[in-house]
Amino acid sequence: MNQQQRQALALAGVFQAAAVVDELARTGHHDERAWRTLILATIDTNPATFESIYGDNHNNLRLGIDTLQGVLTRTPNSPNVMRYGFSLILLMQKLQKQPQMMDTLGERLNRINAQAEHFGHTHENVIASLGELYQDTLSTFSYRIVVQGDPSLLQSRMMPERVRAILMAGVRFALLWHQQGGRRWKLIMGRGALRQALKDIDRY
């Protein structure tokens, strides 16, 4: 897998998070495979390989791949999904300027990983810890992601924590995208290369 393909998959992770947040906010449900992949990727702070971040199967990011393809081809997506995706990238850029917060995230994610080994990676205690971590760190920026959806769903038990946990996952994939050479201008000037990378990935 070349760097362009790794960039495309990391960006698909960002838009998978955006799509799951939108699903949760509107319906209270989510794609189980997409959800689990995002949570596992967030908790695993020391993956053995790039591929292991998403479970060694690019179809674990299928929701994100399909969503990103819509973004790149200007096929109508939910306006909220588009907004969440680009907002996650902006939030990642703000995080990069805060090394102390980066350290805090790393330390607490290590503790959450230990919690996940005890309870299970998608146990509500783990999700609650991820949500709390997002609230204590990324949500303290003046720029915040405002999630729109059904107010009764957004206020239901564990929903705020679930949404925050997935936003955390989106920032994790945005950082991964940047580490692989992804830049915002490439979303405008490099659409063709990203589309081709997604096609090539599906040939594996």
pLDDT in tens, 34-83: 999 999 999 998 899 999 999 999 999 999 999 999 998 887 678 999 99
Record the pTM: 0.96
Long-range (24+ apart) CB contacts under 8 A made by 34-37 are 34/60, 34/61, 34/62, 34/63, 34/64, 35/122, 35/166, 36/121, 36/122, 37/61
Q: Which pLDDT score, from 0 to 100, does residue 204 have?
A: 67
Residues 3-201, CATH architecture: Orthogonal Bundle (1.10)
As a whole number, the mean pLDDT across the chain is 95
Q: State the DSSP code for 142.
A: S
Phi, psi of 185 (to 5 degrees): -65, -25
